[in-house]
Amino acid sequence: MRRYLLSSLASVCFVALFSVPAFASSGLVEPTLKMRPQASGVTRVAITLDACMGKTDFRILDTLVKERIPATVFVTARWIRHNRDALAIMLANPDLFEIENHGQDHIPAIDRQVSVYGITAAGSMESVMREVNGGREAILAATGKEPSWFRGATAKYTHSSMAEINGIGERIAGYSINGDGGSLLGAGVAQKRIAAAKDGDVVIAHINQPTHQAGEGVAKGLLNLKKRGVTFVRLDDPGFDPETN
């Protein structure tokens, strides 16, 4: 079992590595994540997909499997309970799918009484850690592995909640390209955003909205990247080397 307590210094360093300045009006932090540039000429892109709740977008999942495109999938405990078939496909393809923590009930990991995009935040550190640990335990039970990355609902935090999450050994997963605008973009816009990814980019999109047009664009954008000869990496790859912010 992984040791749950890291040194306080390590926690502070992780916050500094992944955070960007807090929003002036709210005090919230939206981290970015991007790989360091390299001189090899190889274009590396990390595809990260959020499975918040609801169903599975098989337009995206089937494309990943058929085209053998690796991806990191952030799942909630709620999604796991209702999508055993999709999870089974991911577990049957361990070379493609990395399963990471998106929380228990898709509650923003913010230790303040705020609402983000209409979603009420956890509101206290105790509730933040209940959300994080609930997701962690569900993933361990379903996969036999503990997650090492966490992405909260809305991808916003406070510095204090980030430090607490780092303290149990989970890194905060930001991103550099919002591929589907929370699954609300049209297919063409989502495809264009993802297809334009450059070396080092970490793309976020959603794999839980099969009725939204954005999913079609996500699948097509992935095909565009493969056609370009992009090297797809996961967050657990040894070569994944994020730059400081």
Please tell me the pTM assigned to this model: 0.89
Residue 175 predicted with pLDDT over 50: yes
Residue 27 predicted with pLDDT over 90: no
| DSSP code string of 149-212 | EE--GGG-B-HHHHHHHHTTT-EE---SEESSTTTTS-HHHHHHHHHT--TT-EEEEESS-TTS
**Band of residue 4 on the pLDDT scale cut at 50, 70, 90:** very low
Q: What is the pLDDT of residues 59-111, one digit of tens each?
A: 999 999 999 999 999 999 999 999 999 999 999 999 999 999 999 999 999 99
Please state the rounded mean pLDDT for residues 181-205.
98
Fold of 8-233: TIM Barrel (3.20.20)
> What integer pLDDT is reported at residue 38 of this predicted model?
85
Average pLDDT, the chain: 90
- Token output for 229: 């000869």
Residue 1 predicted with pLDDT over 80: no
Please state the rounded mean pLDDT for residues 118-135.
96
Burial of 111 (0-12, 13-18, 19+ CB in 10 A): buried
Domain regions of the chain by residue span = 8-233
Please state the rounded mean pLDDT for residues 1-9.
35
Residue 7 predicted with pLDDT over 90: no
